[in-house]
Amino acid sequence: MIESVAFIDDIRNFLYAGGDVLWVILGVTICLWCLIIERLLFIKQNYPFLRDSCLALWNQRTDKNSAYALFIRQELISEVLIKLNRGVAIIKVLIALCPLLGLLGTVTGMIHVFDVMAVTGTGNARAMAAGISKATITTMAGMVIAISGLYFSKLIEERVSDESHHLADLLKYH
Amino acid sequence: MRLAISFIFALILAHNAYAGSQDLNQLLRDVKQRQAQERKLNKTREAEFLAEKQNQQQLLQTAKAELAKQEKLRAQLSTQLESNETLLAEMETQLKERSGELGELFGVAKQAAGDLQANLQGSIISAQYPDRIEALTRMTESKALPMISQLENLWFTLQQEMTESGKIVRFTQQIQIPGGERQEAEITRIGAFNALANGGYLNYDADAKILTSLARQPEGKYLDLIDSYRTSDAKKAPLGIDPTRGVMLNMLIQTPDAQERIQQGGVVGYIILLIGALGFLYALLRLSILVATGHKMKQQMHNDTAMDNNPLGRVLIATEQSPSQEVAALELILDEAITREVPNLEKGLSMIKLFAAVAPLLGLLGTVTGMIATFQSISLFGTGDPKLMADGISQALVTTMLGLSVAIPLLFLHNLLASRSKMLVQILDEQSAGLMSRRAGK
């Protein structure tokens, strides 16, 4: 119990040292990971049903190689792909935004440092430390989130592209 | 004298020679008579002089006696002086010997008093006990050895500072409000760190020896803590304190707020904000249009009759109205209809992307102009005072910050718009043919 309280305290101190931008990064991180988990769960659980129903619809048809049939096949695949791809672009942009937010944090941290310098001069390194930790912690957080998210984003992209090829293979012309 | 007298006689004789010879006898008698008188007078005077001489002799003797007496006294005193001097020298050596260690001790005591005085001058506790500094000043400034009472006072003041810095005290005193007026207020002092009054933080002005209300108070959450602290009955309550004893609170007054920050950005900053506002509004407008279009297209997919209020419906209507129902001809018509619809869906995307790309570039421009200002101030004033450079540097940093904070949400919005419009185009591209086939019953 005490350990968990200390842990929460540590996190609070960390967020406090990082300043406002770190809260934004935290928000972005939560969104990002919710989206990643949602996508992974979707591919794992919902997608097989979707694929099967699509396959069943196709297999119901008697005519499978006329031009109209090809149009319908394309439509079936497209519907599944749109559902499969939903949110992937947002994951990618959130990952791209993380280092930018880190940079923003660096700039606000440097502004803080120069504010302190304007008041106390260059002599007081201790007073400047708060701004410098703001600058560095946000950059680090942005980088960590972006790098860790990048792996999962690539994983999801790979899975989506695999599944779409696989689906196209499954819907046979004969 | 005799000469004078005979001279007078001669004159008288000469005179009388003219007068006649009948009174010569008379004159002779007179002369004799006068001579006798003179003699008598002279004798008296002689006697007088002699008497005087004796008197003087006596006086001389008395004076001599006095002189001898005084000489004796002088000799006596000079011996005493000598002996006293020796005694004094002896005593001084003795004093030096005895106060050898004590002198050092008093030096240390004075130094400690000086240090304490310097500390107390900035200490918030001095607001409550304004007189204690003067007593210390008297001790440090006097050349004499400190009295026991002064030493005791030094000890007491040190102990008081220590004890009071661990206490939370409420007292009523005059404070200075930002307008410069003074008013009575109930002050809560937390150790040597903070003083609170009227729901705000106070600062101790060491020169005026008065607590002043801060011109700018800290963020709302710290002020809320004060209110909740005042009203809470619990033994412990959270409260924000300034461990730097006022330095941080002073810094707070100097840190600019959001509005001043934006002003620091200068013209470039305003341009960035304008671009951000325009881009934001336009992106939101496009997003709402795309969401509405997407909604209508969804409805169209589940609806048998083609409606002309959405792109998909319009594409389907175009195929329905086609004179030929050949697959190849239909495909061409479909392509044509889709090509007509796509620009509407992708409208504004490049504009928003441009805004998102321009904002950080403008931030960079602001950085460069800010650096130019900084270097100008360096060439004028040298690098000695960082405060003079602060203006240019804050412009440089603020514009970068503004550029980034405009670019980040715009990039996000652009991505939302792009993925949505891409999805709609995809539906048009890949599903309209299928829908058409279904409607044809194939």
Whether B13 maps to a domain, the answer reads no
B407 within 8 A of B362, measured Cβ to Cβ: no
CA-based nearest distance B352→chain A, Å: 15
The verdict on B241 and B271 lying in the same domain is no
Q: Compute, in degrees rounded to 10, the torsion defined by CA atoms B377, B383, B385, B388.
A: 20
The verdict on B171 and B147 lying in the same domain is no
Question: Dmax over Cα atoms in chain A, in whole Å?
Answer: 84
Whether B21 maps to a domain, the answer reads no
Cβ burial of B323 (10 Å; 0-12, 13-18, 19+) is: exposed
CA distance B246 to B242: 6
Which chain B residues are Cβ-neighbours of A118 within 8 angstroms?
254, 386-387, 390, 394
B387/A67 touch (CB, cutoff 8 Å), yes or no? no
Q: Compute, in degrees rounded to 10, the torsion defined by CA atoms B193, B257, A115, B245.
A: 0
Q: Which of B146, B162, B178 is the last residue of a domain?
A: B162
In DSSP terms, B174 is beta-bridged to: B184
* Nearest CB neighbour to A78, from listed B408, B411, B431: B431
* Nearest CB neighbour to A90, from listed B397, B419, B422: B419
CA distance B45 to B49: 6
Interface test with B, best of A20, A106, A111 (most B CBs within 10 A): A111
* Nearest CB neighbour to B437, from listed A68, A101, A115: A68
Q: Which of B101, B128, B162 is the last residue of a domain?
A: B162
The verdict on B222 and B140 lying in the same domain is no
A104/B408 touch (CB, cutoff 8 Å), yes or no? yes
Identify the pLDDT of residue A66.
80
ipTM of the complex: 0.87
Higher pLDDT, A131 or B411: B411
The verdict on B284 and B382 lying in the same domain is yes
Q: Which amino acid is at A170?
A: L
Q: Which amino acid is at B230?
A: R
Could you identify the residue written with the tokens 């661990």?
A: B166
Whether B3 maps to a domain, the answer reads no
B434/A76 touch (CB, cutoff 8 Å), yes or no? yes
pLDDT of chain B, 442 residues: tens digit per residue = 666 676 676 666 556 556 566 678 889 999 999 999 999 999 999 999 998 999 999 999 999 999 999 999 999 999 999 999 999 999 999 888 877 777 788 888 888 888 888 888 888 888 888 788 888 888 888 777 778 888 888 889 889 888 988 888 888 888 888 788 888 888 888 888 888 888 788 888 878 788 888 877 777 777 888 888 878 777 788 887 888 777 777 777 767 777 888 888 889 999 999 999 999 999 999 999 999 999 998 888 888 787 888 888 888 888 888 777 777 888 888 888 899 989 989 988 999 999 999 999 999 999 999 999 889 888 888 877 777 777 788 888 899 999 999 999 999 999 999 999 999 998 888 888 888 787 777 6
Read off the pTM: 0.68
Name the residue in chain B with its Cα closest to that of A63. B442
Name the residue in chain A with its Cα closest to that of B408. A97
CA distance B179 to B162: 34
Whether B365 maps to a domain, the answer reads yes
Identify the pLDDT of residue B24.
86
The verdict on B65 and B101 lying in the same domain is yes
Alpha-carbon distances, residue B65 vs B54, B73, B207 (angstroms): 17, 12, 74
Q: How many domains does one find in chain B?
A: 3
The verdict on B110 and B238 lying in the same domain is no
A120/B247 touch (CB, cutoff 8 Å), yes or no? yes
The verdict on B140 and B177 lying in the same domain is no
Range of the domain at B201: 167-245
In DSSP terms, B196 is beta-bridged to: B188, B201
Identify the pLDDT of residue B1.
60
Identify the pLDDT of residue B280.
94
The verdict on B430 and B324 lying in the same domain is yes
CA-based nearest distance A45→chain B, Å: 23
Alpha-carbon distances, residue B28 vs A122, B31, B41 (angstroms): 128, 5, 20
Whether B288 maps to a domain, the answer reads yes
Which chain A residues are Cβ-neighbours of B393 within 8 angstroms?
114
CA distance A133 to A22: 11
Whether B53 maps to a domain, the answer reads yes
Q: Which amino acid is at B279?
A: G
Identify the pLDDT of residue B142.
79
Q: What is the 3-state secondary structure (H, E, C) of B79-119?
A: HHHHHHHHHHHHHHHHHHHHHHHHHHHHHHHHHHHHHHHHH
Q: Which of B216, B245, B274 is the last residue of a domain?
A: B245
The verdict on B156 and B173 lying in the same domain is no
CA distance B149 to B330: 113
Q: What is the mean pLDDT of chain A?
A: 87
CA distance B9 to A44: 175
Question: Dmax over Cα atoms in chain B, in whole Å?
Answer: 210
Q: What is the pLDDT of residues A9-38, one digit of tens each?
A: 888 888 888 888 899 999 999 999 999 999
Residues 6+ apart with CB under 8 A from A157: A88
To the nearest 5 percent, what fractions of chain A are helix, strand and coil? 90, 0, 10
Q: What is the pLDDT of residues A103-128, one digit of tens each?
A: 999 998 888 888 777 777 777 778 78
CA distance A106 to A108: 6
Residues 6+ apart with CB under 8 A from B278: B355
Identify the pLDDT of residue B138.
83
DSSP assignment of B360-423 equals HHHHHHHHHHHHHHHHHHHHHH-SS-HHHHHHHHHHHHHHHHHHHHHHHHHHHHHHHHHHHHHH
Q: Does B383 touch chain A (CB under 8 A)?
A: no
Whether B377 maps to a domain, the answer reads yes
The verdict on B93 and B238 lying in the same domain is no
Name the residue in chain A with its Cα closest to that of B420. A86
Interface test with A, best of B219, B338, B387 (most A CBs within 10 A): B387
CA distance B104 to B107: 5
Residues 6+ apart with CB under 8 A from B261: A111, B398
Radius of gyration of chain B (CA): 59
Name the residue in chain B with its Cα closest to that of A71. B434
The verdict on B268 and B414 lying in the same domain is yes
Whether B15 maps to a domain, the answer reads no
The verdict on B199 and B287 lying in the same domain is no
